[in-house]
Amino acid sequence: MRTTLELGQEIGYGKLSIEAVAARAGASKHTIYRRWPSKGALLLDSLLSLHETDLEFPDTGDLRADLRAQVYAAVDLLGQPPFGHLFQALVGEAQYDPQVAASLNERFIAPYTDKTVARLKTAQDQGQLSPDFDLDLGMTLLSGPLYFQFLITQEPLTRERIDRLHHALFTGLAPDPRVRRDP
Amino acid sequence: MRTTLELGQEIGYGKLSIEAVAARAGASKHTIYRRWPSKGALLLDSLLSLHETDLEFPDTGDLRADLRAQVYAAVDLLGQPPFGHLFQALVGEAQYDPQVAASLNERFIAPYTDKTVARLKTAQDQGQLSPDFDLDLGMTLLSGPLYFQFLITQEPLTRERIDRLHHALFTGLAPDPRVRRDP
């Protein structure tokens, strides 16, 4: 996996192949394939091997501050080599390989979702989140815009934009707060 | 491009290559490369050649109804072959190839964003959207969650979930509507 990261940094994850990793590591292709049946599987394990991906959700008691800190940390991480390109390559592979998509979800997305929902639930119990908010939408609403910018528009995720996104999510799009409860 | 779509449907877009398309179309590889310098460029043109991708934003005067109709239509489109897999493959290529990412944004995402913002602006002028809402966040808030589900979690985008997402976006996450205006 260290070989994967080194080689990925040098030649780009697009050109990375299991064959190239095997050659660099001085191992046989078959040895590598036995453990990592696809490029995506190798990328995922490489990502998870980097301990910084343990994004523990802060709980200072202030939901807005904690969400802000969490997202800033995630975005900073994506901005540091090798994370950003590695993660992009992994998501790229997931579009082609359902096994990689399933592994990515099981080993990275789902645990992170659980932490997010747990933090939101605590906040809801403490009256910092609307009592009517469907917690199962939490991850998709908070992370969705970030992934959209990171993967699709590829615009820089500035702190200013993150703050404005959170403001809009908390304030809501409806015109009048008093009539915000939908029929 | 028709060859691309046929071949993509048969062998999957993962295995598709410019060489394979050239062979199927009875054209030389070089002819294809001259026009489409990468697989991603070929996928993008193939997607755009399908006229159904012209997702005109409805304006019935009711913003919520129009957003609902628009998103339902986009999701239905992604559910029909070849759109879903073609779009996934295109997004996959965009992770590896900045040229493809730039083309995807210029030719598909940006025009769609402009239509979205225009519809939101009209709604804002008519008092159906918060006067404080930053219109430039519109696309990322409305589309972000959908792309997240489509590309990452790969959960089915049901109408029920879309409705609940819109409800949460309009109502806002803050606990009390009267204190929703952030300090």
pLDDT for B79 beyond 90: no
> What is the model's pTM?
0.89
Taking contacts as CB-CB distances below 8 angstroms, the residues of chain A near B137 are: 145, 161, 164-165, 168
Q: ∠B138-B54-B50 over CA atoms, to 5°? A: 135
User: Under 8 Å CB-to-CB from B73, ≥6 apart: which residues?
Assistant: B55
Give the relative orientation of helices B159-171 and A138-147 as an angle to the nearest 10 degrees. Answer: 90
Q: What sections of B80-128 are H helices per DSSP?
A: 83-96, 98-104, 110-125
Query: Looking at residue B78, what is its pLDDT?
Result: 86
Which DSSP symbol is given to A153?
A: I
pLDDT reported for residue B182? 46
Between the alpha carbon of residue A43 and those of residues A113, A122, A163, B129, the distances in Å are 21, 34, 31, 43
pLDDT tens sequence across A14-47: 888 999 999 999 999 999 999 999 999 999 998 8
Residues composing chain A:
183
Q: Where are the beta strands (DSSP E) in A1-157?
A: none
Instruction: Give the pLDDT of residue A54.
Output: 62
**Per-residue confidence (pLDDT) for residue A180, from 0 to 100:** 47
B109 contact residues in A (CB cutoff 8 A): 152-153
Minimum mean pLDDT range among A133-137, B2-6, B98-102:
B2-6
The length of chain B in residues reads 183
Higher-pLDDT residue of B68 and A1 is B68
* Peptide bond before residue B145 is cis, with ω within 30 degrees of 0: no
**In the predicted structure, residue A148 carries a pLDDT above the cut 60:** yes
- Contact indicator for A116, A136 with CB cutoff of 8 Å: no
Tell me which residue in B88, B130, B137 faces A95 most closely, judged by beta carbons: B88
Average pLDDT over residues B138-144: 96
Give the pLDDT confidence score for residue B177 in this predicted structure. Answer: 61
pLDDT given at position B150: 93
Query: Percent of chain A beyond pLDDT 90?
Result: 63
Q: Indicate the helix (H) or strand (E) that contains B171.
A: helix B159-171
Compute the average pLDDT of residues B116-143: 96
Residue B82 per-residue DSSP state: T
Q: Please, what is the Cα angle at B90 between A3 and A139, to 5 degrees?
A: 75
pLDDT band at A102 (very low <50, low <70, confident <90, very high): very high
pLDDT for position B180: 47
CB B24 within 8 A of CB B82: no
Mean pLDDT of A149-177: 93
Measure CB to CB from residue A180 to each of B93, B101, B177 and give the nearest one: B177
At A3, list the tokens. Answer: 């070989």
Q: What is the mean pLDDT of chain B?
A: 89
Q: Rounded to an integer, what distance in angstroms lies between the CA atom of residue B171 and that of residue B165?
A: 10
In the predicted model, is pLDDT for residue A121 greater than 90? yes
Q: Give tens-digit pLDDT for B4-60.
A: 888 888 888 888 899 999 999 999 999 999 999 999 999 999 888 886 656 678 999
Does the distance separating the beta carbons of B130 and A171 come in below 8 Å? yes
Average pLDDT rounded to a whole number, residues B76-84: 86
pLDDT surpasses 50 at A182: no
Rounded Cα distance, B142 and B137, in Å: 9
Residue type (1 letter), B5: L
Question: Mean pLDDT lowest for which of A84-88, B116-120, B167-171?
Answer: A84-88
Cα-based angle B182, B68, B49 (whole degrees, multiple of 5): 115
Chain A residue with minimum CA distance to B149: A140
Quick check: A108 pLDDT over 50?
yes
Residue of chain A minimizing CA distance to B166: A173
Q: From CA A53, how far away is CA A74, in angstroms rounded?
A: 9
- Mention every residue, 6+ apart, whose C-beta is less than 8 A from residue A36: A18, A42, A45
CB contact under 8 A, A92 and B93: yes
Instruction: Return the pLDDT at A53.
Output: 56
Residue B1, pLDDT score: 82
Mean pLDDT of A145-170: 94
Query: Which residues of chain A neighbour B97 with C-beta distances below 8 Å?
Result: 14
Give the model's pLDDT for residue A83. Answer: 87
The pLDDT score that the predictor gives to residue A80 is 85
User: pLDDT at residue A183 above 50?
Assistant: no
Question: Among residues B101, B84, B83, B117, which one has the least CA distance to residue B40?
Answer: B101
Domains defined for chain A, CATH in brackets: 40-171 (1.10.357.10)
Contacts for B156 with CB less than 8 Å, ≥ 6 apart: none
Residues of A in contact with B173 (CB under 8 A): 129-130, 133, 141, 169-170, 172
Which value, in Å, is the radius of gyration of the alpha carbons in chain B? 19
